[in-house]
Structure 1
């Protein structure tokens, strides 16, 4: 307990020193005989209690009291007074003094008031310590709550994926069989069509070569009339077969993705994955989400992925990171009439795999850039978002993969999320 005594009368300082020693008060007693020196001690040392004389040269005790209370709210201050005019004492209490001691100093009164001040200061210190502990506990609880929220979201997403996976597996199985024979039948139709076309051309050539030998002109006119119809059918048939092939191949591609999507091992373990496939699957999920929420035409998502861009990862983790960042950009654009353009790019070296996601928006406020990965930070309206999407990305990339994730504003406009994870 550090007790500072400020009094220009050396006899008073000596009296305080003797009384404290006589009553064996355990404290560090600091004695100064000028207010200026006292103010220096307050700034240079941790002071718990101040015993302050009201009447002093240059600076009065009232002046010192004002200065101390402007900066230090918790120091216990006891005023020395020998004045009969109570207005100075009242002013002292108005400015934040805790108690007073009459001069000349009477030992019993002095020691009683000093002990009360010491107890008050001890209670203050305990209260401050409790408050700091509660603040620390509150911070820890917020962090734990954020982690729980992220874990909960991951569990919900995994459960959704599991349910979707089982549902998709059934759909994929049901579609795969008719799809197989449809593709096979279309191949046969195309083959038969080629044979028919070839024979038609041969017959047409025979008719042309023997035109002068055919006497039935009415029959020839019918042939030529039908010839035009048949040629139109052949021409249209080419287009129909081509479009049907493209459609069936697209369905086949989606089915393959669904089957891969239902492979639980891809989501529960680290494997070497082709980043292009992860990006394509994520875009399919985003397109479905946008179509469901009637925002189908709000976004254009392109990607430039290196052909040999394989990364060792948990497939679900990287899909979640890409999904969250892209949807975060799209959610922001919902506030405007502009169309969001998003580009996913990748590259790698011997140690790291890099990929980035950039958009054409207005960018991120410089004051907010350091906060975007904090749990519960969001610029959305209350009830529109929890502020955990980018925090989950940070947790996956930095904590789980020991990688890095950064966001920057682009000179041409928009912002760019850059991610790197070890190979």
Structure 2
């Protein structure tokens, strides 16, 4: 060892270079220490080397810290690679991806070398380039549903969280996300189940609503059938009279005609037949209106957003649900005629309105009790507020207790009796309005007086982009 050190010293003196060595040294007592030795050549006045200066330091603590850091990095890397959420690290300034975990790569369908260095919008939120809530709009955190674009251009719905952090002296965005395709299918199934539940709930009422006009259509039609028989006999006698009018023997025919006119109550028929016809036509129009409203309520086959007359859609839903509310409440409507067309999923918006109206009717019914001669009040009002279409549905029920107000939009939460509600109505309504339409849904309530649900939908024109709901909440 001494010979090796001697040769190294000569080489340092010859080259004039500084040499630093790190060695792990074990002492007789079993302790292990890390030692660093720095050897520096000492020049003389003529540029030669007089000798060497050696400095030895114990760097065991530094080595232990470095080892701990490496172990920590290894653990973090293991966690990032094993977690079942996609994680992408993005440079805030360039928007380029600087790191990515295996789950994210699996979702993207590519390898790391094909992803690192690409602009994040190439894969994540392609429609949000230039308007990232964190990088561009200076939000501290973003939690929202977005779209991941795979290497094969397949769009995958994701639930994404973004935070801005400092890593290695640089500003980075840590984006974590999960694949919510299965969740979306479940939500779709739940929404359809809720819709079927509502339609089933309405079925008996609709049958009753259709049965009433159908009954008097049948009664009037049977009346007209019998009345026409009498009229036909009257016309026959009238024709016989005409044939006899050419001689003087018509007097007894005229008396006979007068007697028959009195027998069939001709004046009554003249008065009642037009009324029956009008009632029949009214009944037919009533049935047609219910059928039209039911069709407009369900909007079968419409899976894409389309511009609709919101006032008309609400009116149709009120008609469809009339058997739910007409026995407990008077319905009042105040529709803003200046309300613009609204870009939405018609069937789903109707479902939201239906759920809230039925809830209002149930709330009023609970206050009035069974067999009450009194009625409460439901008011549906629409307003145009700048870029928003607002719907306000008020009831004179008991209001929402303070201790449950924060749970109203939670899935499976209900204050109704067993068998009267699933607790999905308002949760689905919240999802439809907030997540699918970038709108807002809230409520105002006074215990003992009633509740008003307030829905806001973007009143965008064709070609315009709706403002995000979280911006509206900030404005309000």
TM-score range, shorter chain: 0.3 to 0.5
**TM-score, normalising length from structure 1?**
0.46
Comparing both structures, which one devotes a greater share of its residues to strand? 2
Comparing both structures, which one devotes a greater share of its residues to helix? 1
